[in-house]
Chains A and B, each alone.
Chain A
Amino acid sequence: MPGRFRPITLVAGVFFLVAAIAPLFVLSWATLFALILAKSIVVLGIILLLQAGQVSFGHAMFFATGAYAAAFWGRHVGGGDILLYLVLGGVSSTAFGFVVGLFVVRYREIFFGMLNLAFSMVLWSLLEKMFHYTNGADGIRVARPGLLGFSFTPETFQYVILYVSLVIAVAAFYGVQRYLDSPLGHMLRAIKSNETRLEYLGTSARRVLLIGYVISAFLGGIGGTLVAIIQQIATPEFGYWTKSGEFVFIAILGGGAHAFGAFAGAAMFEVVRFYAAAQLADAWQLILGGVLIVIILYAPNGLIGLRQRAKRQEGGH
């Protein structure tokens, strides 16, 4: 559809530009934006599954897989590199996503969500209990890796990881938006509206969902690797159900109709958390909860749906 997404693509462009430039003026924003971008990559995967009407309450398992892939390498082999970590995180989460996907794509809606949750809780328990390998709840420190043989000071590294995250986020944004527009993306949406018809067209709905699921697991793993590098640690919390809930929260907050929803939601979430946590300590969840209630009641298509809503109302007068 030429022109259909132009305004929102423009907004996305501006957002990426701000993410690239603003942290040059405020050092603390480098980490803030890097986290926003890394989480957005995970949420892109949630948005893919939302197309099919499926909500995974266990995607933190892939996030944790990506994080621990980097952590294990650093701990057992050492001498890590950002690109190597990303490859490890991407490959392991994709493989894990394929295996879990074979089971979960047989189910829909609440059963799909709960089965994902169950798998993620198994992984979380293993990470907690296998102390000898994982350090249990303490997690594993991820030493600051280099990039293509270069090593960096802590200050420079904040920018290095920011720009790595930015490049990956832009690529993921572009890739997911292309996917949503492609036959496979449309078939995902067809699962939501009429799965039986899709089968009668000669297409296996499970296969379509599995492909989407594996891609979303891959995105979850990449996001997890990035966050582990940014925060320099991987803990079982990465795979806990509240983390899965956080990703779904961000997806609903941002809106699932366009890939930019992931970024709008993650930016809102992290900014509120970043500033509200400083001012209100533990009350930041209260603010985010309030925001989500307002979104669900007044803008069910998320932040990116607000513009359309405003346009409709203008037209109504």
Chain B
Amino acid sequence: MSSILLSAKGLKISFGGVIAADGVDLDVYEGENLAIIGPNGAGKTTFLNISTGYLRPRAGSVTFLGEDITAQLPRTITKLGIARAFQIPQLFLDQTVMENMLIAAASLRGHPSGFRALSSLPEAPEMERLLDLVGVRENAMRKARELPEGQRKLVDIAVALALKPKLLLMDEPTSGVASSEKLGIMDILTRALAREKVTSVFVEHDMDMVERYANRVAVWNMGKIQKVGTPAEVLADPKVREQVIGI
């Protein structure tokens, strides 16, 4: 097996009376697409929030490439190479798609200029390539606000890729999208990830998507990792089928 990119050890966190994580251990290996499944409110998104510095666990730690990132700020973690795409796309709606991309490029570059035009950044061709990769290049000059949800999801992912991450964390990449579009989006997404050599973790409710696109699946239930394995192994497990998938 390839090397460990991100490693969570003994994570504990609760919100009021709800225990979201109660001693969670989970490793993410380089090059994989890891799906996290589980019932609603089980704590899947909490894992993404802890791994990106948005929440701090009560106990436990997260290391990324051997570095402890548990108490780091989101922007520090981003700089280390973890990017995030959101369940509801988080874009700068009043700016064009290309400007969204270039703001990400300027962030990655650091020390943004107050004088040179954003559009003249040397990263512009690279940003066009990424937009092309996710199939939204023709909308580069449109405002993000004008795009339909499915396209915004793809832009959200392109913005994350603009940060040249090693790991991309995605919260339900196809939620809020018409089911006819879901496969198309996931195809584009997995192709882009492979092309850019980005490892991914995605929280998902749709078992079809998990079966098709994940290399490995972790089941998050009652604040614990109930099972980890290949999609075939996990989805065949009677307990998982009963408690998580509801069959």
Assess whether B79 is interfacial by the CB under 8 Å rule.
yes
B121 contacts A183, CB within 8 Å?
yes
Note all chain A residues with C-beta closer than 8 A to B79.
202
B114 contacts A193, CB within 8 Å?
no
- Chain A interface, number of residues (Cβ within 8 angstroms): 28
Note all chain B residues with C-beta closer than 8 A to A114.
none
A178 to B116, CA, bound (A): 7
Assess whether A111 is interfacial by the CB under 8 Å rule.
no
Q: Which of A181, A186, A189, A200 contacts B78 (CB 8 A)?
A: A200
A79 to B159, CA, bound (A): 57
Report which residue of A185, A211, A215 has the largest number of chain B beta carbons within 10 angstroms of its beta carbon.
A185
Assess whether B94 is interfacial by the CB under 8 Å rule.
yes
A196 to B113, CA, bound (A): 21
Chain A window 172-196, contacts with chain B (Cβ cutoff 8 Å), 1 for yes, 0 for no: 0001001101111111011011101
Tell me which of B29-37, B100-108, B237-245 binds A: B100-108
- Which chain A residues in 205-226 approach chain B with CB under 8 Å? 208, 211, 215
A194 contacts B91, CB within 8 Å?
yes
B71 → A minimal CB distance (Å): 16
Q: Which of B75, B84, B108, B117 contacts A204 (CB 8 A)?
A: B75
Closest residue to B119 on the A side, CB-wise? A1
A182-B112, A186-B103 as given contacts; A196 in contact with B90, CB under 8 Å = yes
Report which residue of A175, A182, A185, A196 has the largest number of chain B beta carbons within 10 angstroms of its beta carbon.
A182
A185 contacts B114, CB within 8 Å?
yes
Assess whether B74 is interfacial by the CB under 8 Å rule.
yes
Note all chain B residues with C-beta closer than 8 A to A281.
none
- Chain B interface, number of residues (Cβ within 8 angstroms): 32
Note all chain B residues with C-beta closer than 8 A to A211.
114
Note all chain B residues with C-beta closer than 8 A to A196.
90
Note all chain B residues with C-beta closer than 8 A to A198.
103, 107
A182 contacts B113, CB within 8 Å?
yes
A203 to B105, CA, bound (A): 11
A187 contacts B106, CB within 8 Å?
yes
B112 contacts A203, CB within 8 Å?
yes
A1-B119, A199-B75, A202-B163 as given contacts; A183 in contact with B93, CB under 8 Å = no
A182-B112, A202-B107, A203-B112 as given contacts; A189 in contact with B117, CB under 8 Å = no
Q: Which of B52, B73, B118 contacts A183 (CB 8 A)?
A: B118
Report which residue of A189, A196, A202, A204 has the largest number of chain B beta carbons within 10 angstroms of its beta carbon.
A202
Note all chain A residues with C-beta closer than 8 A to B114.
178-179, 182-185, 211, 215
A197 contacts B75, CB within 8 Å?
no
Report which A residues bind B (CB closer than 8 A). Answer: 1, 175, 178-179, 181-187, 189-190, 192-194, 196-204, 208, 211, 215
18 inter-chain pairs at a CB distance below 8 angstroms, sorted by A residue, are A178-B117, A181-B119, A182-B113, A183-B113, A183-B121, A185-B118, A186-B95, A186-B99, A186-B102, A186-B103, A189-B94, A193-B93, A197-B92, A198-B103, A199-B74, A200-B83, A200-B90, A201-B75
